Amino acid sequence: MTPTETDIAMMHRALDLARTAAAMGEVPVGAVVYETVTGAVIAEAHNRREIDADPSAHAEHIAIVQACRDRADWRLADCTLVVTLEPCPMCAGLIVNARIGRLVYGAPDPKAGAVDTLYQITRDARLNHHVEPIANVCAEESGSLLKDFFRRLRAEE
């Protein structure tokens, strides 16, 4: 599948959120949930694991929960999730459980990627909902943000 202009614009917003996370000492990951047809942003977030001392405070997890609360509905079938890094198993499971209609992500995650790299949770035929991901959207920029963040972190140690 090919990303739409809206997907790319939302990825740029997610990258801005990732830069905000990095400035706060968080792993630079950003996420946006938007209505697929109208392009209206419902929720956005960046990683907050360190700030919140919460292992579940991944950008996409926060954005999905916020979108569901905003809509007072746990089903987001008419929405697209855009995230700068391939979701982990926890977040891929949440994407399935929230019935996200479309998934767009940036860089692959060789250590925890559960959409394409290590697992294919969002496409697992045994589950009751499936999402075909659109991968590698602005992947180079997203990957560079992550590499630069971890390079700086190691230099400070």
3-state secondary structure of 49: helix
Pairwise CA distance, residues 88 & 16, whole Å: 21
**Cβ–Cβ < 8 Å for 108, 86:** yes
Catalytic residue selected from 35, 44, 50, 60: 60
Which among 64, 72, 29, 27 is positioned nearest to 43, based on CA atoms?
A: 64
How many helices and strands (H and E) does the chain possess? 5, 5
Phi, psi of 42 (to 5 degrees): -100, -40
Please tell me the distance from the alpha carbon of residue 131 to that of residue 102, in angstroms, as a whole number: 6
60 is catalytic: yes
Q: Which residues are catalytic?
A: 60
